[in-house]
Amino acid sequence: MLRSPETDEGAEPYWYARVIGIYHTNVWAERADIPGARSVRRMEFLWVRWFGKEPQYISGSCGARLPKVRFVKSTVEFVFSFVDPANVVRGCHLIPAFHEGRTVDLLPVPQSASRCFNPGEDDDWLNFYVNM
């Protein structure tokens, strides 16, 4: 769960993503203004698959319902990306919307690293409720 950078009226306050991997690397940084000035910095990052808001679904205190999200479609340019762990607000529990079933339409690849936690599954739950 990350704080949304959107500030428009009615924008969602949080973005949600599933963490696929937690990584770090040592990066050489070179300063252009000082020849030969190099330093090694440790960089930590998360590899995530993004969720998007379920359209036409009202949640929150006005709707008295939990937020509902789904994985974004694989046709979206940033379906997977890297995130700075410092931007993560907290982890949250996602409850599959069992009554809505499963789908292969969001990521039509049967074997994917995004499903590494559930080997043998080649589909995703259509929607999830964000447990608050």
User: What global pTM score does this model have?
Assistant: 0.78
Q: What residues does 30 pair with on adjacent strands?
A: 38
For residue 82, give every residue at least 6 positions away whose Cβ sits within 8 Å of its Cβ, in sequence order, or none: 45, 46, 47, 48
pLDDT tens digits, one per residue of 74-124: 888 888 999 999 999 999 999 999 998 888 787 766 666 665 566 666 678
Output the CA–CA distances (angstroms, integers) from residue 120 to 10, 101, 124, in the order listed. 39, 17, 12
pLDDT digits (tens, 9 = 90+) for 27-53: 988 877 877 778 888 999 999 999 988
CB 20 within 8 A of CB 49: yes
* H/E element, 81: strand 80-83
- Length of the chain as a residue count: 132
